A and B are shown apart, each in its own frame.
Chain A
């Protein structure tokens, strides 16, 4: 167990950190200890203040995407969990419906993503339907290769990661607590807000960690659905890697890791998830 952890987690991570301090030129990487990759990444950031340099802009974009995806998956995930946990009475039906949610995972992420393209493209089904119905005159451009399509794909791909932990928290809620709230005169919304949501906090945090870490580090979805036009933290690393500039790629990975860890730490401050595990 410890060995597996060391081999597949600690060692690669340590290597990334080490390489991020190496030097490089156009055709090779040079073992040394320099902050070059970091200083280059943040080059000009101080001078441009209060304007944002490229790296900060990219992180802001990534954070915005991440926040939008998080908020939408949270609302949808919570609603689905609520339906499964409180409106589906029989355990069999709960299991069947939960399994139904996993069916999309039988195909790969990329295929699920790409299948949006014929739907959302300039001459895609949605645009054709809208033009024929006379809702719009010209095809909508923002449907594909835009933030909209990126967020849509993320939500499509990752809502399930929100559903499972929240559902898990929710089914553990004693039904008598709901009755006790009703007995105390709480309305449906009051019960939801004062009893169900607080008791689902651990599930919400765990689901949020899944979604945030995936979206922060993603470059495939942003690339495919954004038409390679949207910069994200993950894409910076990819670009550097494609240019075979490993030290800056590693440095960016370390920065991304730090940013993600910050978010997760903030999340875990909200609730103690160790109780739940």
Chain B
């Protein structure tokens, strides 16, 4: 169930890497208690989009367009400040520190003052949600399994009491059972009010938990709608992993 004004919205966001345009005129609103799935094949621009929302990239991305959080523009704001403002991104690939222990990861996060617009979670709740992390507090990031690392990254994002959670391909390299577990955990958080943007190549898993779907193809939004679009042929192609030539 979604309520009221958009927590985060973007208008005509475009991203270029040098001369090539990776994302064209992307617009989207995110509401409380809503999970949006961003689907599309490899290279469709999903990661580019979600990174642009966080103001972050590993390369030299040039982002244009409007991005706002709770009505205030954050397009010029640096990534670490956006994080403090409540935009938490769990990036794809390496998203934890191999040489830093689990408890030190948590130490990195500054817990902000409680506030209505922020998703509230305590350290104890985190350990309830992710019991495996509780057992491995002194382990280094590099000593955790793939699934545990995703949990750690997610746990850290949640600990920061975010206003918006962006998840970039959390299921990569994980066993299906763990993926289900992870996404169901996230769904429970959404039901408590947290807006989540889920970028996924695994359309099947995503469609089970999201409220809305956005489909990207070569950097453009080609489809947007509620779960009824699951029947659309383009989604079907993504579902089955096929690519239109």
Asked if chains A and B come from one complex, the reply is no
| Interface residues in chain A, defined as those with a beta carbon under 8 Å from any beta carbon in chain B | none
